[in-house]
Amino acid sequence: MNDTRKRFDIWTNISLLIFVFYILFLALPLFTMLIKSFYNGTTGDFSLAYFTKFFSKPYYLTALFNSIKVTVCVTALSALIATPLAYLMATVKIKGNSTIRIMILISSMSAPFIGAYSWILLLGRNGVITQFIKNVFGFTMPDIYGFTGILVVLTLQMVPLIFMYVSGALKNVDQSLMEAAESMGYKGFNKMRKVLLPLITPTLLAGGLLVFMRALADFGTPMLIGEGFKTVPVLIFNEFISEVGGDDGFAAAISVIVVLFATVIFLLQKYVSNRKSFTMSALHPIEAKKKSGIGNIMAHVVIYAYTLIALLPQLYVIYTSFLKTNGRIFVDGYSLQSYIDAFSNIGGVIANTFFLAVVSLVVIILLAILIAYVTVRRRNALTNTLDIFTMFPYIVPGSILGIALLITFNDKPLALSGTALIMIISFVIRRLPYTIRSSAAILHQINGGIEEAAISLGASQMRTFFKITLPMMVAGVVSGAILSWVTIITELSTSIILYTGKTKTVTVAIYTEVIRGNYGVAAALSTILTLITVISLLVFLKLSGQKEVSL
Amino acid sequence: MTVTINIKDLVKKYADATVIPALSLEIKKGEFFTLLGPSGCGKTTLLRMIAGFNSIEGGTISFNERVINQVEPGKRNIGMVFQNYAIFPHLTVKGNIAFGLENRKIPKEQIAAKVDDILKVVQIEQYKDRMPKNLSGGQQQRVALARAIVIRPDVLLMDEPLSNLDAKLRIDMRNAIKDIQREVGITTVYVTHDQEEAMAVSDRIAVMKSGIIQHLGTPQEIYQRPANVFVATFIGRTNIIEGSLTQEEGRYSLQIGSNYAEPMSNIRVPKPQASLKVQISVRPEEFIMTEDQSGIRATIVHSVFLGQNTHYFVDLELGQRIEITQESKTSQILSPGEVIYLKVKTDKINVYDAAGELNYTGSGQL
């Protein structure tokens, strides 16, 4: 009877609109890509030629194998480094604890390829450290290029993600669980292996998935530091972009393979973590205790050393931005010339970045709030599908989404390629999940009775939403929005596919300047980007009164 | 304006499960009406149907003569108090209470005046500008109540409003709620699973089980003449003993065990028979210990001294363990193993059919 009234309220219309948005800008492009991969580019006939080509040539299979190798190693190594670090920070009182946490956060917030290029400057063939060791000790350091380089750069980039995940989980472990374990005779390593590790396993799996997907999708790092070591994203990019010999259809086919692989991993992770998940909330969380003696010193050394290494690339880039340049090489002495060049040649990119990022962020916040609301409060077939759509950006690498958008919206009726709109759409789709997740999380904590109270007092659904629900959601929305914001301004893999002269962003500009060898300008732009990121984070932390950003 | 609530053949279904089969009920104007029952009995479901938050699968609910099945919750002019208060945490006490008035396009000065009035009624004037997180549970409860009644609702709905408070505060608040309700005179539907609370506040109580009203009556009626064995056991403490009723020339006699019989003057049996098996509900205080050796033979198992009363747990000769209450005496408390003889207060006990569904004991003899 009055069920019909409930089913067709304003939220149904909102759900439908968002659904259409996802169909148009996510499902359709991916579908177009899928179709394209099965048709011969010149004759237009159905064919499996692209797939046969991929699986029959060692060149392509090697790239696939390389990608898997990099991804698995980065994920495992990140977890191995991040977990003990998080445990140390949680149990030992470290001087400057909150500053360290913020610094670790910042180290993860730059585009990975900036790390790659900085490590080249430090440890590359002509790197400062390489030269220094050669001159002082007289031997040549092992090569940073190829697999090692990618592994180092990506691992340093990803450790903070798992570190933050695990730190969050450790906060929910009750001290009494540790004490109970001790009372039953488990100490030290055994206690960790038998009690603590199983407790944080679901979190490790979640963080591991995030790292896995990012490492799999990363394109800038292998491009810069990989040299002969080709990974799949590089392959796709070259196939798609290169003027000669490239083939969109083949790029689409490789993309389909990558997305399938990622989906399998994603589902596998969901399956495993569903079986291992449980909820915890600690009445008495584990407290960091002041340690003394050698243990205390070791803990400080490890944490300070890690933080320094993690920040080193960014610090070095900032340092080089103030160096005098002569053409493409750094010379003795300091100057602001790189900044002057940065602003005079490509000042527009900063304006572009801000314009695109702000518009995207506004759209993201709006959509995320609405999506969170309908998926949490109005569960039905439609909103469940929406929920699944919003997870796609986790498994579709940025460059692949970029290609899919481009091949779909290249022609009429929706010729969007080259516009600012297509950039905004890609940012929105890719960076929405952060804000949706945090908004949904806070909505779960808000008792539904509060909304019923407002409605019983005569407020309309919209008034209830704007006057009651939304104000209560703000903190959660903002904490996700800050992540969306930072990841938009450091976005490379989609922008590099979609940008044109008019929509070039700072990240793309840094990348192209690095490729051209204009290290001074690249460094100046990187510094500006880092500055914007750090200021955004600090403003957020200050305003929200929080000590860290939760992922 | 306060209303009469008329519920006719109301049906609630979740998918295929029927929660309320067919419920009819009339709640009088200005009445304090309580839905009482164990969890899962459908009492909250019914309340939320009146509020409009649950759909109606059959039958009607009307306020006075107006059927409100299709009216949105916000348009039913109800005030609702939630179990967890549902106070808006981002609004002050004043903001919370004014919220409903602001929906009604009332001039600002009037809103302020109404808010001040109601703050006085619920006695929290001094907390007007506080944020909810700085209020105690009892104070939040008062805000929730004020917010619900300030809009002058036709009906006040309360869903276990006291269950989150501690025992002492619960008693204070239930008296406050009763006083305030009497003062404003709004038809009130109150849901609780606490029978003592229900007795303390209600004009009438509906005891529910499995979506069906088992007994509808005043607190005194449902305690003293429970309609069936379920109500008898749910309201207060009681012992259910098996026995038989014999009839001779219209006079009934109740037999418990082999050696004890009492004449009964208040029995009405629809289809009189010479002898009937019955279930008898005897509350602990409805036993009398006899001085001589007549009555039911019982053995003391253990005793609990509670000041005014002493509770004994005894084994009847029939093999059943029951509880009896006696006013405490200065003499020695009976010790385990001692044998006593019991009689029942025939005017107070209730006699049911063998299924425990029908009360043979007439209420006219109260």
Q: What is the ipTM of this complex?
A: 0.75
Mean pLDDT of A339-362: 86
Contacts 24+ apart (CB under 8 A), A132-140: none
How many Cβ pairs closer than 8 A exist between chain A and B? 79
In Å, the largest CA–CA distance within chain A is 86
pLDDT for A551 equals 59
Mean pLDDT over the full length of chain B: 89
pLDDT for B299 equals 92
Residue A394 and residue A275 share a domain? no
Q: What angle do CA A231, A26, A23 make, to 5 degrees?
A: 160
For chain A, the domain total comes to 2
Alpha carbon distance B59, A401 (integer Å): 54
Residue A58 and residue A23 share a domain? no
Q: Residue A46 in 3-state DSSP?
A: strand
Alpha carbon distance A17, A11 (integer Å): 10
CA torsion sign for B263, B267, B272, B273 is negative
Residue A38 and residue A52 share a domain? no
Contact A456 B74 (CB under 8 A): yes
Fold matches, B5-233 and B238-365: no
Highest mean pLDDT among A38-42, A99-103, A497-501, B297-301 belongs to: B297-301
The answer, for B143 touching chain A at a CB cutoff of 8 Å, is no
- H-only helix segments in A457-544: 461-464, 470-489, 495-498, 506-516, 519-544
pLDDT for B36 equals 95
pLDDT for A244 equals 59
Preceding peptide of A285 cis, ω within 30°: no
Residue A432 pLDDT level (bands cut at 50, 70, 90): very high
Residue A37 and residue A53 share a domain? no
Whether B283 and B224 have beta carbons less than 8 Å apart is answered as no
Backbone angles phi, psi at B151, to 5 degrees: -80, 10
pLDDT for A1 equals 37
Q: Which residues contact B127 (CB under 8 A, 6 or more apart)?
A: B93, B135, B139, B143
Q: Nearest-CA distance from A214 to chain B in Å?
A: 38
C-alpha A95 chain-centroid distance: 29
pLDDT over threshold 80, residue B365: no
Q: Which residues contact A423 (CB under 8 A, 6 or more apart)?
A: A356, A495, A498, A499, A503, A505
Mean pLDDT of A149-157: 91
Backbone angles phi, psi at A275, to 5 degrees: -80, -20
Residue A371 and residue A388 share a domain? yes
The answer, for B73 touching chain A at a CB cutoff of 8 Å, is yes
The answer, for B83 touching chain A at a CB cutoff of 8 Å, is yes
- Interface-testing mutation among A456, A460, A469, with chain B (most B C-beta atoms within 10 A): A456
C-alpha A13 chain-centroid distance: 31
Residue A85 and residue A6 share a domain? no
Residue A539 pLDDT level (bands cut at 50, 70, 90): confident
A23: DSSP letter:
I
Alpha carbon distance A256, A48 (integer Å): 13
Q: Nearest-CA distance from A3 to chain B in Å?
A: 6
Q: Which residues contact B110 (CB under 8 A, 6 or more apart)?
A: B101
Contacts of A10 in chain B (CB under 8 A): none
- Interface-testing mutation among A457, A461, A462, with chain B (most B C-beta atoms within 10 A): A457
pLDDT for A441 equals 87
Alpha carbon distance A185, B209 (integer Å): 51
pLDDT for B9 equals 93
CA torsion sign for A260, A263, A269, A272 is negative
Q: Nearest-CA distance from A21 to chain B in Å?
A: 31
Amino acid at A218: D
The answer, for A450 touching chain B at a CB cutoff of 8 Å, is yes
Contact A452 B100 (CB under 8 A): no
Residue A353 and residue A303 share a domain? no
Residue A3 pLDDT level (bands cut at 50, 70, 90): very low
Contacts of A7 in chain B (CB under 8 A): none
Please state the three-class secondary structure of chain B as a single string. Answer: CCCCEEEEEEEEEECCEEEEEEEEEEECCCCEEEEECCCCCCHHHHHHHHHCCCCCCEEEEEECCEECCCCCHHHCCEEEECCCCCCCCCCCHHHHHHHHHHCCCCCHHHHHHHHHHHHHHCCCHHHCCCCHHHCCHHHHHHHHHHHHHCCCCCEEEEECCCCCCCHHHHHHHHHHHHHHHHHHCCEEEEEECCHHHHHHHCCEEEEEECCEEEEEECHHHHHHCCCCHHHHHHCCCCEEEEEEEEEECCEEEEEECCCEEEEECCECCCCCCCEEEEEEEECHHHEEECCCCCCEEEEEEEEEEECCEEEEEEEECCCCEEEEEEECCCCCCCCCCCEEEEEECCCCCEEEECCCCCECECHHHC
B203 or B102: which leads in pLDDT: B203
Contacts of B57 in chain A (CB under 8 A): 1
Whether B36 and B208 have beta carbons less than 8 Å apart is answered as yes
- CA distance readout (Å), B262 to B51, B58, B159: 50, 48, 44
Mean pLDDT over the full length of chain A: 86
Residue A157 and residue A23 share a domain? no
Give exposure, A79-111, as e/b (b: 16+ Cβ within 10 Å): bebbbebbbbbbbbebeeeeebbbbbbbbbbbb
Pairing of strands B187-192, B32-36: parallel
Cβ atoms within 10 A of the Cβ of A534, count? 18
Closest to B247 measured CA to CA, from B281, B273, B218: B273
Residue A300 and residue A204 share a domain? yes
pLDDT over threshold 90, residue B230: yes
Whether residue A525 is contained in a domain is answered as no
Q: Which residues contact B47 (CB under 8 A, 6 or more apart)?
A: B35, B157, B159, B189, B191
The answer, for B59 touching chain A at a CB cutoff of 8 Å, is no
Residue A279 and residue A207 share a domain? yes
Whether residue A532 is contained in a domain is answered as no
Mean pLDDT of A458-477: 89
Q: Of the candidates A3, A447, A458, which has its C-beta nearest B104's C-beta?
A: A458
- CA distance readout (Å), A443 to A440, A544, B92, B95: 5, 18, 21, 22
Cβ atoms within 10 A of the Cβ of A295, count? 11
Alpha carbon distance A405, A241 (integer Å): 14
Q: Which residues contact B44 (CB under 8 A, 6 or more apart)?
A: B159, B160, B191
The answer, for B11 touching chain A at a CB cutoff of 8 Å, is no
Residue A286 and residue A146 share a domain? yes
Residues 93-122 of B with CB under 8 A from A: 99-100, 103-104
| Closest-approach residue (CA) in chain A for B82 | A449
Amino acid at A334: Y
pLDDT for A341 equals 81
pLDDT tens string A500-535: 888 889 899 988 888 888 888 888 889 988 998 899
CA torsion sign for A371, A376, A381, A385 is positive
CATH label of the domain that carries residue A386: 1.10.3720.10
Contact B82 A472 (CB under 8 A): no
Residue A494 and residue A382 share a domain? yes
Alpha carbon distance A255, A63 (integer Å): 13
pLDDT over threshold 90, residue B363: no
Whether B341 and B298 have beta carbons less than 8 Å apart is answered as yes
> Is B342 buried (19+), middle (13-18) or exposed (0-12) by CB count in 10 A?
buried
CATH for the stretch B5-233: 3.40.50.300
Alpha carbon distance A22, A20 (integer Å): 5
Contacts of A450 in chain B (CB under 8 A): 86-88
pLDDT tens string A378-392: 888 888 888 888 888
Contacts of A471 in chain B (CB under 8 A): 90
Q: Residue A323 in 3-state DSSP?
A: strand
Contacts of A455 in chain B (CB under 8 A): 53, 72-74
Whether residue A132 is contained in a domain is answered as yes
- CA distance readout (Å), A99 to A78, A84, A303, A304, A536: 21, 19, 12, 11, 16
Domain layout of chain B by residue ranges? 5-233, 238-365
Contact A471 B55 (CB under 8 A): no
Contacts of A458 in chain B (CB under 8 A): 74-75, 77, 100, 103-104, 151
Contacts of B148 in chain A (CB under 8 A): 456-457
| Closest-approach residue (CA) in chain B for A474 | B90
Highest mean pLDDT among A137-141, A308-312, A345-349, B84-88 belongs to: A308-312
Structure tokens at A300: 């400080």
The answer, for A471 touching chain B at a CB cutoff of 8 Å, is yes
Residue B293 pLDDT level (bands cut at 50, 70, 90): confident
Whether A216 and A67 have beta carbons less than 8 Å apart is answered as yes
Backbone angles phi, psi at B297, to 5 degrees: -80, 135
Whether residue A325 is contained in a domain is answered as no
pLDDT tens string B163-179: 888 888 888 888 888 88
pLDDT over threshold 80, residue A414: no
pLDDT for A333 equals 78
Q: Which position has the token pair 């600090």?
A: A538
Give, in words, the CATH class of B238-365: mainly beta
Domain span at A189: 48-229+255-319
The answer, for B131 touching chain A at a CB cutoff of 8 Å, is no
Amino acid at A536: S
The number of residues making up chain A comes to 551
Alpha carbon distance B221, B210 (integer Å): 21
